[in-house]
């Protein structure tokens, strides 16, 4: 018997096991990266996308949630599984808003994909899809063709430390076929054994998860668990460039009080993301990519840096707090983000706070400092701006 191609096997797998199981729209939970973060990267403002593509929509939950978040947007949702598209249409709300989601059966890796789905998009969302298809770079090329020149691609893909990276080979060693979902639950005994070896109870986090959630991560013809630098390389092959990683954004927080900033400063935002993933590989990447790389500000050249134009991202609400101790060098600034559900304090000199308050993308750093009545002196001038940029508190644009 001639074996079926992996693409065909993958389609059959998801026809038999649609992901996630259909559920009422009101019961759906947001599983994507925060929308505010997605739209804050390398933008002077946060224009809401008018056309959104959900690439690999499954049974439609992400498409419905995006439509609720972006009520004026046209949402096109595609999947190569005919059964998933059928279930998505059955779940689709009958309201006028719900009808603004258009479902199309289409394969992300097929020629003519962009033409088949109807042109370019401001935002493409592809979450939990490319890790499970045989040729992710082909899909990325098609998505790049569908993206407007100034559009953004949000990509959710498995990382090198994904929990299936170690467990899937053990399934095969124990004689459990991984290409298809087993009919019995014998594979769950492996999870119990693994959690016991790891020191957890038999009813640990993995064993409590439902079969429909775990099935796609353990079983199927293809599973790519890759470090960030490998996903970045696949993106470059497709004409897409990494702009930001949500995980790196969070990992940087301890560096506020660290002296390591100077080591990172020559590197771009995307390079910092890759370095942090090399230091501590993540299980799942939440990434922003675009058709053009972001120019890296000249952090090591203060004269040139003063010509660049800062602009707030709108991701944080910024407020100052009075000094609690007379000995404190700088007042404390509170950075609070509703979108990221986080807040933290940052000792910040007054000139830095004034730059944040006054910048709007139209004036250079040199102009802002002149207005404030402050020169570009101080050893930590570039370091502080660099961290604010890496945290997506502000973006910095070339002259």
Does any domain span residue 296?
A: no
Rg, C-alpha atoms of the chain? 23
Does any domain span residue 59?
A: yes
Would you say residue 297 has pLDDT above 60? yes
- In this predicted structure, what is the pLDDT of residue 134? 87
Q: What percent of the chain has pLDDT over 90?
A: 42
Same domain assignment for residues 212 and 261: no
Does any domain span residue 1?
A: no
CATH number (domain holding residue 384): 3.90.930.60
Would you say residue 305 has pLDDT above 50? yes
How many C-beta neighbours within 10 Å does residue 201 have?
10
CB-based burial of residue 310 (10 Å sphere; 0-12 exposed, 13-18 middle, 19+ buried)?
Answer: buried
Same domain assignment for residues 179 and 237: no
Whether cis (ω within 30° of 0) applies to the bond prior to 336 is no
Per-residue pLDDT, averaged over 14-20, amounts to: 69
Per-residue pLDDT, averaged over 32-51, amounts to: 86
Same domain assignment for residues 12 and 120: yes
Per-residue pLDDT, averaged over 17-25, amounts to: 68
More confidently predicted of 119 and 149: 149
Q: What percent of the chain has pLDDT over 70?
A: 85
Does any domain span residue 38?
A: yes
- In this predicted structure, what is the pLDDT of residue 10? 65
Compute the distance between CA of residue 138 and CA of residue 328 in angstroms, rounded to an integer. Answer: 55
Indicate the number of domains in the chain.
Answer: 3
Per-residue pLDDT, averaged over 207-213, amounts to: 78
Beta-carbon contacts of residue 18 (< 8 Å; ≥ 6 apart): 58, 59, 81, 83, 84, 87
Does any domain span residue 297?
A: no
Same domain assignment for residues 319 and 266: no
Q: List pLDDT tens digits, range 238-261.
A: 999 999 999 987 788 777 766 677
Does any domain span residue 21?
A: yes
Does any domain span residue 114?
A: yes
Go through the chain and tell me how many residues it has.
399
Q: List pLDDT tens digits, range 22-39.
A: 776 666 677 889 999 999
**Which residues form the domain of 363?**
302-397
- In this predicted structure, what is the pLDDT of residue 242? 97
- Provide the pLDDT confidence category of residue 166 given band limits of 50, 70 and 90: confident
Same domain assignment for residues 153 and 176: no
- In this predicted structure, what is the pLDDT of residue 2? 38
């Amino acid at each position: 018997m001639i074996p079926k191609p992996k693409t065909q096997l993958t389609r059959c797998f998801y026809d038999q096991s649609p992901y996630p199981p259909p559920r009422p729209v009101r019961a759906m939970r947001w599983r994507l990266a925060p929308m505010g973060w997605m739209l804050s990267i390398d933008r002077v403002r946060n224009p809401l996308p008018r056309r959104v593509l959900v690439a690999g929509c499954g049974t439609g939950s992400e498409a419905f949630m995006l439509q609720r978040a972006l009520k004026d947007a046209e949402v096109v949702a595609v999947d190569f599984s005919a059964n998933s598209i059928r279930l998505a249409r059955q779940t689709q709300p009958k309201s006028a808003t719900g009808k603004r989601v258009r479902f199309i059966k289409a394969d992300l890796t097929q020629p003519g994909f962009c033409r088949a789905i109807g042109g370019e998009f401001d935002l493409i969302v592809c979450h939990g899809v490319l890790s499970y298809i045989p040729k992710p770079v082909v899909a990325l090329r098609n998505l790049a063709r569908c993206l407007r020149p100034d559009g953004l691609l949000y990509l959710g893909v498995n990382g090198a430390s994904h929990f299936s990276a170690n467990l899937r080979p053990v399934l095969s060693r124990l004689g459990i076929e991984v290409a298809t979902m087993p009919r019995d639950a014998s594979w769950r005994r492996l999870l119990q054994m693994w959690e016991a070896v790891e020191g957890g109870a038999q009813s640990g986090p993995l064993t409590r998860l439902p079969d429909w959630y775990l099935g796609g991560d353990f079983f199927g013809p293809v599973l790519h668990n890759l470090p960030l630098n490998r996903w970045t390389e696949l993106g470059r092959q497709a004409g897409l460039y990494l702009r930001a990683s949500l995980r790196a954004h969070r990992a940087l927080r301890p560096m506020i009080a660290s002296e390591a900033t100077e080591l990172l400063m020559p590197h771009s935002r995307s390079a910092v993301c890759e370095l942090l993933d090399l230091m501590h590989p993540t299980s799942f990447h939440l990434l922003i990519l675009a058709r053009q790389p972001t120019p890296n500000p000249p952090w090591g050249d203060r004269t040139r840096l003063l010509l660049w134009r800062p602009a707030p991202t709108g991701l944080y609400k910024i407020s100052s707090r009075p000094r609690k101790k007379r000995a404190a060098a700088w007042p404390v600034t509170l950075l609070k983000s509703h979108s990221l559900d986080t807040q933290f304090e940052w000792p910040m000199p007054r000139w830095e706070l004034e730059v944040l308050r006054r910048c709007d993308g139209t004036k250079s750093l040199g102009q802002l400092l002149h207005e404030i009545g402050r020169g570009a002196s101080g050893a930590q001038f570039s370091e502080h701006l660099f961290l604010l940029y890496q945290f997506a508190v502000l973006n910095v644009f070339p002259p």
